[in-house]
Structure formats: C-alpha cells, structure tokens
Amino acid sequence: MKYVIGIGEALFDCLPEGRKLGGAPANFAYHVSQFGLNGCAVSAIGKDELGDEIVDNFTAIRDALPTFNFQLSTVEQPTGTVKVTLDEKGVPQYEICLGVAWDNIPLTNSMLEIARQAQAICFGSLAQRSETSRETIQAFLDAAPADALRVFDINLRQSWYTAEVIAESLSRANVLKINDEELDVVATMLLGEPTVPGALIAEDPEKTRRVCRELISRYDLKMLILTCGAIGSYVFTAGEESYLATPKVQVADTVGAGDSFTATFVAQLLLGRSIRQAHEKAVAVSAFVCTQNGAMPVLPEDLVR
C-alpha cells in the first residue's frame, strides 16, 4: 500500500464554538483521504482523556472514510491543545501549549515501515521545535523512497522556528508551501532580503517572484506554492508560473484552509493532474473550507469528483 502522510502535530483546536480535532499534518492526511488516496496521520498523544478522544475521532473518520489511516504513539506528555481566537475576518490566532505529546514523537519500526511506502510526506516547522520530534521527522523523511514528494508546509507559529530548522527542512524537501507573511520571514532569514511583513507580495510582485525562484534554485525544489490570503495564490517551478485569484466567499473561519489547499494540490498531482489543474482544485477546496467551521469538513461531491 502507498501512503500520503502528514507527520507532526495532532491536537485539539479550542475554538470559540468548542473543541475540534486539528493539527496541520492530521488535516492534510484527512483531506488527502477524501480524494481516494491512502492518507495517514503520524503523531503522538498522551495517556489522557484527550488522547482517547483523538483516537475515537480518528477511528470514526476511518469508519466513514476507509482511505484515512493513522499511526499514533502514546507518550507520557499530555495531548496537545491550541487556543484559537478569530478576528473579525475569521483569521485565527493561536496559543500553542508547550511540552505536549507531539513534541515527543518517538521513532518506531512501524513508523519507518509506513515511511518506506510513502508517495508523499507533508511536514512543517512547528513539530520540529523539540529535538525529539525533529529527529524523528528527519529520520522519517530519510527513510522514504527517493522519488516521494517531500512537502515542507512551513507553518511558522509564534517564535517556534529557527533559520537552522528551516534550512535543514528545505534541504530535505522537494516542495515548499509558504504564505506571504512567511515568505517575508524566510527571505530575511535565509536570503538576506530584509522586508516589512506583507511588503513583498503587496508592494513588489517582481521581487516576490525573484525570491521564490531563488529559494527553488538554492534548495533544488521541484516547486514552490505561495498563498497570499484574499489576494490569490501562485505555484512556481523552475520554468512555470501559475496564478489564481482567491474566490470571494462568506468566511466562517480560515482554520485549516491552508492545509486543505496543500492536501488537495498534492492529491491532484498524484492523481496525474497538471500543475494548473491541481492549483485550480486546491483553490476551490480551500475556499469551501473557509465557509465551514473547523479544519476537517466533509467536502461536497462536486469537489472530490
């Protein structure tokens, strides 16, 4: 069996309307599974009620969506939670607890067996804030087949990232997914291109293109996906560029919208679609997710067909 894997944090987003299952890698695996691929969420949970609740939630998802799989290690630390507050546009702000289970993901033989069967692996920077999970994620990536997609969905959160972790992740990745604010940070950290937050895409589109292509060249990436919120999104390869405007929708919240974009894009590529076709589907799916509460809505049939 071939897997499309999200490795890193599995947690509960504590939203104003209640607790919802979340974590970027788990969101990724869930959405990939909706397109008929064998998604797999790899993480760690605590020996507590919230850990049991995550298992129950994942089991219920798998019962409804048999292509969804999960590999959860149980550790001594508590299951992760995130307090999510939304601004007037539905854009989330996160308060992420420290010292939780997904900071301590152990490397196991069963995980390595899954890695060896990977078609694609999506990972971020957040779960690499701790040495234990960082070493596990790096070993997991190294165990995957050479031709697997390795998608670094950077997801910079609070202050839990360093230039060293970002550069090391890029050296293992062949696809970078990044948003406009994160691009400013990375341009400053890695390329010595000091910027004002939001300035690249808003004020200097040509410099934005140059920075993206510089990252592709420096880190030997197959492609770079740049999302710019309400403005639009780009996909860059060494010789190709795709741009699409963001559809105007009634936003409930944007939690998980970026994860659904990444998952949809990767799924479409693996299903044989062109970059442009994958981009179009990813835009449509993420726009739908913005109209729903939480990160894991069921997609309507016309989007997954």
With a pLDDT cut of 90, the percent of the chain lying above it is: 74
Nearest alpha-carbon partner for 105 in 224, 11, 185: 11
- Tokens linked to 172: 């293992």
Taking only Cα atoms into account, the Rg of the chain, rounded to an integer number of angstroms, comes to: 18
How many Å apart are CA 92 and CA 14, to the nearest integer? 11
Q: Helix axis angle, 205-218 relative to 180-191, nearest 10°?
A: 60
Angle (CA) 88-257-190 rounded to 5° is: 100
Q: What is the mean pLDDT of residues 7-20?
A: 84
- Mean pLDDT, residues 255-270: 95
- Who's near 66: CB < 8 A, 6+ residues apart? none
The answer to which of 43-57, 83-97, 119-133, 228-242 has the lowest mean pLDDT is 83-97
What is the per-residue pLDDT for 252? 82
How do residues 114-152 score in pLDDT, each as one tens digit?
999 999 999 999 999 999 999 999 999 999 999 999 999
State the Cα torsion 281-287-288-291 to the nearest 10°. 180
Q: What is the pLDDT of residue 230?
A: 86
Q: Phi then psi for 13, rounded to 5 degrees?
A: -85, 120
User: In terms of C-beta density within 10 A (0-12 exposed, 13-18 middle, 19 or more buried), how is residue 17 classed?
Assistant: exposed
Give dist(CA 26, CA 16) in Å, integer. Answer: 21
CA 9 to CA 23: how far, in whole Å? Answer: 5
Residue-level pLDDT at 146: 97
Specify burial of residue 189 (Cβ count, 10 A radius: 0-12, 13-18, 19+): middle
Backbone angles phi, psi at 207, to 5 degrees: -65, -35
For each of the domains in the chain, give its residue range(s) and CATH number, in order of start. 3-292 (3.40.1190.20)
* pLDDT tens per residue across span 189-210: 998 876 655 556 556 788 889 9
Q: Which residues pair with 123 in a beta bridge?
A: 152
pLDDT recorded at residue 77: 96
- For strand 80-86 and strand 92-96, is the pairing parallel, antiparallel, or unpaired? antiparallel
For residue 254, pLDDT over 90 is answered with no
Listed in sequence order, the DSSP H helices in the chain are 24-34, 49-64, 109-115, 131-143, 163-172, 180-191, 199-203, 205-218, 257-270, 275-290, 301-304
Six-digit token pair at 251?
Answer: 């936003």
User: Which positions ≥6 away from 270 have C-beta within 8 Å?
Assistant: 4, 37, 119, 120, 149
Within 10 angstroms of residue 206's Cβ, the number of other Cβ atoms is 8
Q: Rounded to the nearest 5°, which phi and psi values hold at 176?
A: -115, 130
Which pLDDT belongs to residue 302? 92
Average pLDDT, the chain: 92
